[in-house]
Amino acid sequence: MSFLKRAFRDAVSQGVRKGIGDAIGKAVQQTVEPRVTQYANETAQRIDKAADNAARQAAESTAGLEGAFANLGRSVQNYADLVSRDLKVCPQCGQPASADTKFCPGCGGKLPEQTLGQGAVCPACGKQNSVGMKYCADCGTMLPAAAAEAQALESRNAQVMQQWEQMLPQYPKWNCGGRELYIDDYDSYICFRASFSGNDQAARQAVEQYRQLLQQNGFRPAGEYPTVEQLYKRIDGVVYRVDTEHCFDGDSDCPSIGFDRSEPRGGFDYVKPEPRKKTSLKDLFRF
Ligand SMILES: [Zn+2]
Ligand SMILES: [Zn+2]
């Protein structure tokens, strides 16, 4: 094989691997990475062979480049679909396992009943869709894998809100949306995040809404430098603070809200001192 052909084949191979990631998602991408499962090597070999074929086609005909790529794309999709029929993926850690496995070999978590391929069979019309699709290509029904994922997400969110009740009882509950919710407990600081998946406008509106909710619940600006980004409330002598000032540091559609008990600078009920009156010489010598 000439240098040119080999270089082309490598480029195609790389493109294919990237294409797999884009087209059919992380789960199947893992199967084309060698060493992961028995399917991985077989699939990688098939894809290499397909890439070889594509290179040959492209080299032999002048009009073949586009066609060769299209063929290659189809082959890859077919191999991935084939592999997905015998493959489960752990919803907790993402490790692939064979169809007869009940518990994840990586983390011990319970694996789904269905393989990836079965999860892409339409419950309404029976079409076998490609793995990674959310809705049936023929009739638009939500596919089982996507439905299961949505349900898992919902129950994880519900868990976060349950943690909220225990960890943040003094603060009004977040009810301002977000696709995926997180709660993290640092030593003296609890951090709550709500992902808005690429919609920073919605994220900003949600934070604004939450500030209003806080103020309706008696939280208010306090201290020497009062601001609505830092809201405080005193309950039984203890100050509770919500920090939304650094909400979008690093992530514009996933606001990060901090909760803690730090006192506002200058005290909760800080009163600005009256400016001192200027004293003139005349005042000093007045009788
Ligand atoms: Zn696992
Ligand atoms: Zn369908």
Quote the ligand 2 centre to 207 CA distance (angstroms): 39
Task: Please report whether residue 188 resides in a domain.
Answer: yes
Domain boundary, last residue among 26, 49, 84:
84
pLDDT digit string (tens) for 5-38?
555 556 556 665 555 555 555 555 555 444 345 5
Domain that holds residue 37: 3-84
Q: Amino acid identity, residue 34?
A: P
Looking at residue 35, what is its pLDDT? 38
Task: Please report whether residue 249 resides in a domain.
Answer: yes
pLDDT digit string (tens) for 148-207?
888 888 999 999 999 999 999 999 999 999 999 999 999 889 999 999 988 999 999 999
The answer to whether 225 and 265 have CB atoms below 8 angstroms apart is yes
Q: Which ligand places an atom closest to the C-alpha of 124?
A: 2
Quote the ligand 1 centre to 36 CA distance (angstroms): 13
**Tokens describing residue 107:** 């983390």
At 123, is the secondary structure helix, strand, or coil? coil
Q: Amino acid identity, residue 78?
A: N
Quote the ligand 1 centre to 96 CA distance (angstroms): 8
Task: Please report whether residue 112 resides in a domain.
Answer: no
Other beta carbons within 10 Å of 235: 9
Quote the ligand 1 centre to 86 CA distance (angstroms): 17
Q: What is the CA 278 to chain-centroid distance, rounded? A: 60
| Phi, psi torsion values for 195, nearest 5 degrees | -85, 130
Quote the ligand 1 centre to 4 CA distance (angstroms): 42
Quote the ligand 1 centre to 111 CA distance (angstroms): 8
| Burial (0-12, 13-18, 19+ Cβ within 10 Å), 108 | exposed
Percent of all residues in the chain with a pLDDT value above 90, rounded to a whole number: 45
pLDDT digit string (tens) for 90-123?
877 777 788 888 998 888 989 888 888 888 899 9
How far apart are alpha carbons 34 and 42 in whole angstroms? 9
Quote the ligand 2 centre to 147 CA distance (angstroms): 14
Task: Please report whether residue 158 resides in a domain.
Answer: no
Domain boundary, last residue among 18, 52, 84:
84
Task: Please report whether residue 24 resides in a domain.
Answer: yes
Other beta carbons within 10 Å of 275: 6
Domain boundary, last residue among 84, 100, 115:
84
pTM above 0.85, yes or no: no
Residue 155's alpha-carbon distances to 58, 113, 169, 180, in angstroms, are 50, 18, 20, 10
Q: Which ligand places an atom closest to the C-alpha of 141?
A: 2
How far apart are alpha carbons 244 and 10 in whole angstroms? 49
Closest to 245 (Cα-Cα) out of 259, 266, 224: 259
Task: Please report whether residue 183 resides in a domain.
Answer: yes
Quote the ligand 1 centre to 112 CA distance (angstroms): 11
Quote the ligand 1 centre to 173 CA distance (angstroms): 32
Task: Please report whether residue 115 resides in a domain.
Answer: no
Task: Please report whether residue 27 resides in a domain.
Answer: yes
Torsion of CA 149, 154, 157, 158, to 10 degrees: -140
Q: Which ligand places an atom closest to the C-alpha of 103?
A: 1
How far apart are alpha carbons 69 and 200 in whole angstroms? 36
When divided into structural domains, the chain yields a total of 2
Lowest-confidence segment of 29-43, 120-134, 238-252 by average pLDDT: 29-43
Quote the ligand 2 centre to 120 CA distance (angstroms): 10
